[in-house]
Amino acid sequence: MPIITLPDGSERRFDHPVTVAEVAASIGPGLAKAALAGKLDGRLVDTSTPITRDAALAIVTDRDPEGLEVIRHSTAHLLANAVQDLFPDAQVTIGPVIEDGFYYDFAYKRPFSTEDLAAIEKRMAEIAAKDVPVHRRVLPRDEAVTHFKKIGEHYKAEIIEAIPQGEQISLYGQGEWEDLCRGPHVPSTGKLKAFKLMKVAGAYWRGDSRNEMLQRIYGTAWPNEKQLKEYLTRLEEAEKRDHRRIGKELDLFHLQEEAPGAVFWHPKGWALFQQLIAYMRERQREAGYQEVNTPEIMDRDLWVQSGHVEKFGENMFMTRTPDERTYAIKPMNCPGHIQVFNQGLRSYRELPLRFAEFGKVHRYEPSGALHGLMRVRAFTQDDAHIFCTADQITEESVKVTELILGIYRDFGFTDVRIKFSDRPAKRVGSDEIWDKAESALKQAAAAAGIETTLNPGEGAFYGPKLEFVLRDAIGRDWQCGTLQVDLNLPERLGASYIGEDSARHVPVMLHRAMFGSLERFIGILIEHHAGRLPTWLAPVQAVVMGITERQENYCREIAEALKNQGLRVDLDLRNEKIGFKIREHTLKRVPYLLVAGDREAEGRTLAVRTRAGKDLGSVALDEVTTLLCDEVASRGRLVLEDRVSQRRSA
């Protein structure tokens, strides 16, 4: 008879087989009511799952990440149930859980309208309120195909036909409605208390543009109404911070159909882009990196040798020249850096050797996945590769980690999570090499004193990695920096150095990026700061404006003096009322507005206002210049505003 071991190490003994739900009830009525699923020997199962042998069991509730996933998966079924109740001719296809929610694809004779979504959501609420028990049954594969064809669900039948012969097929249902699914699901529809349908979009069957177009309904689901409301509030805030809208308002960049996934940078946006590069150049120089530059187009054979064509070829752009050679536009910088390393005989005394590049790379992304600066086809990486010995992995990894975290603090990101991504299914190199690489990276993370969470199977095809995830001002997570240990590519591309023993050795290669993509990082910065970038980053740091034409010469002199100090300054001498000009530049999120009237011109001062609307009063021109330069140099501190405010308070 089963002995059940609970997460706290305690045991419960039963003299008969029990279900997960019965174990929860034996612990307490509160847990029995909260139970959504079980984790049986590490496997997520329904609460109705029988336990006939000794096992480890955790009861999953809506407090657990797995519980939220079960809620969303079950809400996708609730959506499909409601659609087929209201539109019996609609066929269901697939409905997975996605970040913050779920979707379900439907085949139907006409597009779903906004009114349809409201009706579907209302029907979902009705089914949930009835607290209908969720049931499961299993059919042989061929019987399941016949069943779905009989009820006119041809998409489901096609999915099952792709499953190998002899497999058992599970079906989940509530009441008379039923659907193909692996599960698990909540015990009853009453567990689904907080959901909302968000939008409807087109989607090709199986993601193939050659197939028929389906309708995809997106929704979100949460354990309770409070969390749902918080999520919807975050969405509203995210909409206000959308980098595409702000980028247009601030005249930073644009995208157009003639160059899908590539950015047209305007002067102000390019100034921001170059500021990031200048900043990173300085930090990398201080950290001992040497900057290199490698070709954007290289012979396809090199990418075959590196393994990129086999593992990444579908995302690469290829071109064939009149001389019948095939070239690839580089999707990554690593093979190019190995070519630089391979020039000349290298000694262990040169290691670690740190090469950095602001390399333009191109990767094919489906057009439907493109999203402003966040998902593009042409982007610039702040890429670096460290060639070192095995004994240097830990020290170099600690240095990289400290550098990355320090850089993020400069940009206003203090909440950083780090994931450890181990070997993917699609990879190069032997298991022995992967064992060594993963062990080395784990040791390095421990030496750096950082906590990591496992991100299984998400390593690069050539090595495991640490992923640095930033949490922004409204609680969203962005994966940016990476550190990867690679024992594969250097060997594949013939890299070696002469060791202390006078023999040839293959170097370890650490792949490192901090921004990741400069384009994407700029998008994240814009949204994190809602366009109000710190003074040192702002495309325009100050604008000088006169009240009347009489101050024109003085304003020109000020603007020129500030520009000579390396500040990015605009001059506004338009024949407009000063209130209009102040409002316009405030909306453009310029950090400081410097206003000159007759009194300011005579006393060689400036009336200083902040973009937040704070009036700092009259400040001497020399002091404005000094404090603005100090604020830019401080990378983030409000030197001008703070010092003037302190002086006035005193």
For residue 592, give the CATH number of its domain.
3.40.50.800
Q: Is residue 142 part of a domain?
A: yes
User: What pLDDT is stored for residue 428 in this prediction?
Assistant: 80
User: What pLDDT is stored for residue 463 in this prediction?
Assistant: 85
User: What pLDDT is stored for residue 649 in this prediction?
Assistant: 62
Q: Is residue 245 part of a domain?
A: no
For residue 103, give the CATH number of its domain.
3.30.980.10
**Would the pTM count as exceeding 0.85?**
no
Instruction: Judge if 49 and 89 occupy the same domain.
Output: no
Decide if pLDDT at 208 tops 80: no
Nearest-CA neighbor of 512 among 310, 307, 324, 287? 287
Helix, strand or coil, per DSSP, at residue 455? coil
Instruction: Judge if 491 and 419 occupy the same domain.
Output: yes
Residue 141 phi/psi, 5° resolution?
Answer: -50, -55
Full domain range(s) for residue 445: 253-528
User: What pLDDT is stored for residue 272 in this prediction?
Assistant: 96
User: What pLDDT is stored for residue 151 in this prediction?
Assistant: 86
Q: In what helix (H) or strand (E) does residue 197 lie, and over which residues does it extend?
A: strand 194-204
Q: Is residue 304 part of a domain?
A: yes
Instruction: Judge if 485 and 522 occupy the same domain.
Output: yes
pLDDT tens for 564-592 read 999 999 999 999 999 999 999 999 999 99
Decide if pLDDT at 330 tops 90: yes
Q: Is residue 258 part of a domain?
A: yes
Residues 6+ apart with CB under 8 A from 140: 168, 169
Q: Is residue 533 part of a domain?
A: no
Q: At residue 287, what is the residue type?
A: A
Instruction: Judge if 216 and 143 occupy the same domain.
Output: yes
Q: In what helix (H) or strand (E) does residue 473 lie, and over which residues does it extend?
A: none
Instruction: Judge if 21 and 159 occupy the same domain.
Output: no
User: What pLDDT is stored for residue 204 in this prediction?
Assistant: 84
Catalytic residue numbers, as ranges: 334, 363, 381, 383, 385, 465, 511
Instruction: Judge if 81 and 52 occupy the same domain.
Output: no
Instruction: Judge if 495 and 358 occupy the same domain.
Output: yes
Identify the domain boundary among 528, 559, 594. 528
User: What pLDDT is stored for residue 515 in this prediction?
Assistant: 94
Instruction: Judge if 227 and 308 occupy the same domain.
Output: no
Q: How confident is the model at residue 650 (pLDDT cuts 50, 70, 90)?
A: low
pLDDT tens for 520-541 read 999 999 999 999 999 999 999 9
The number of distinct structural domains making up the chain is 4
**Is the dihedral angle over the CA atoms 547, 551, 552, 556 positive or is it negative?**
negative
Instruction: Judge if 210 and 286 occupy the same domain.
Output: no
pLDDT tens for 103-137 read 999 999 999 999 999 999 999 999 999 999 999 99
Instruction: Judge if 492 and 570 occupy the same domain.
Output: no
Instruction: Judge if 11 and 75 occupy the same domain.
Output: no
Distance between CA 179 and CA 186 in Å, rounded? Answer: 14
For residue 9, give the CATH number of its domain.
3.10.20.30
Identify the domain boundary among 181, 203, 238. 238
Identify the domain boundary among 495, 528, 561. 528
pLDDT tens for 230-279 read 999 999 999 999 999 999 999 999 999 999 999 999 999 999 999 999 99
Residues 6+ apart with CB under 8 A from 537: 272, 275, 276, 411, 525
Instruction: Judge if 148 and 272 occupy the same domain.
Output: no
pLDDT tens for 497-524 read 999 999 999 999 999 999 999 999 999 9
DSSP 268-294: HHHHHHHHHHHHHHHHHHHTT-EE---
User: What pLDDT is stored for residue 402 in this prediction?
Assistant: 92
Q: Is residue 610 part of a domain?
A: yes
* Average per-residue pLDDT for the chain: 92
